[in-house]
Amino acid sequence: MAAETGFDAFEILERQLAQKDNAYLMGLKRQAFAAGISLCSLSTHQGFLRPDPEERQQNIDITNDSIELAYKLGIPIIRVNTGRWGTSGSFDDLMANRGIEPAIEGYTDEDALVWVVEAFEKILPTAEKCGVLLGLENHWGLGRTPEGLLRVVNELDSPWLQVTLDTGNFLEDPYEKLEQIMPKTIFVQAKTYFGGGLWYTLDLDYEHIGEMLRRHNYRGFVSLEFEGKESPVTAVPKSLALLRSVCHF
């Protein structure tokens, strides 16, 4: 469907993989090649904002497995997160609070920064061995602000850990915040909200965003992440046309 709609590549959400055995993965790889599209990214989930070292290690192991999975599929980058505190309850509750949630009682974001940096220090050797980049997304937790995101990336100072920029995850003053993370951006996820958003709607100026990306010499993929209520049958082609009209690099 992606190829028929006119996309050049496809980003896989790991949680949506029906299976992970080698035969299934190689079938996906073959199918993508036959359709004439690249597998450009693997979007993964992990969380390091946990006081328990064993929980953090479990998430380190999960992420290393995701890197190996991407390597098998020939995917050059995985989307990673810092994780979130989880004190808001459900994701719907988190969205109702505009992505803001308090730390676990007795801990602070400074504690979380240490945990996240230590976790990625253990993950980066696998990324480098496999030649798979890590794109840390502005995606709640420490990634809710550009300052928190960049503290992690700059602290580790590795060419294998850069930024996945999501156009729709800075809910206030998005352009100023997107500008801050663009110098480290290696992959872009672009949200559209035709029909109104599932959790919220941002009226994003993609002409402006496209100009910002060109000014920062971005040459990579722009991955559509449709989060509207309109049928994807009509909204996805409209979204693709919008992005193609402004993201000509």
Q: What is the CA radius of gyration of the chain?
A: 18
Structure confidence at residue 111 as a pLDDT band (50, 70, 90): very high
CB atoms within 10 A of CB 66: 24
Model pLDDT for residues 194-212, shown as the tens digit of each residue: 999 988 999 999 999 999 9
User: What percent of the chain is helix, strand and coil (3-state, nearest 5)?
Assistant: 50, 15, 35
201: exposed, middle or buried (C-beta count within 10 Å: 0-12, 13-18, 19+)?
middle
User: Which CATH number is 2-246 given?
Assistant: 3.20.20.150
User: End-to-end alpha-carbon separation of the chain, Å?
Assistant: 24
Model pLDDT for residues 133-173, shown as the tens digit of each residue: 999 999 999 999 999 999 999 999 999 999 999 999 999 99
Instruction: For residues 166 and 170, give the distance between their C-alpha atoms in angstroms, rounded to a whole number.
Output: 8
39-53, 80-94, 134-148, 175-189: least confident range: 80-94
Instruction: For residues 157 and 125, give the distance between their C-alpha atoms in angstroms, rounded to a whole number.
Output: 13
Q: Where are the domains of the chain?
A: 2-246
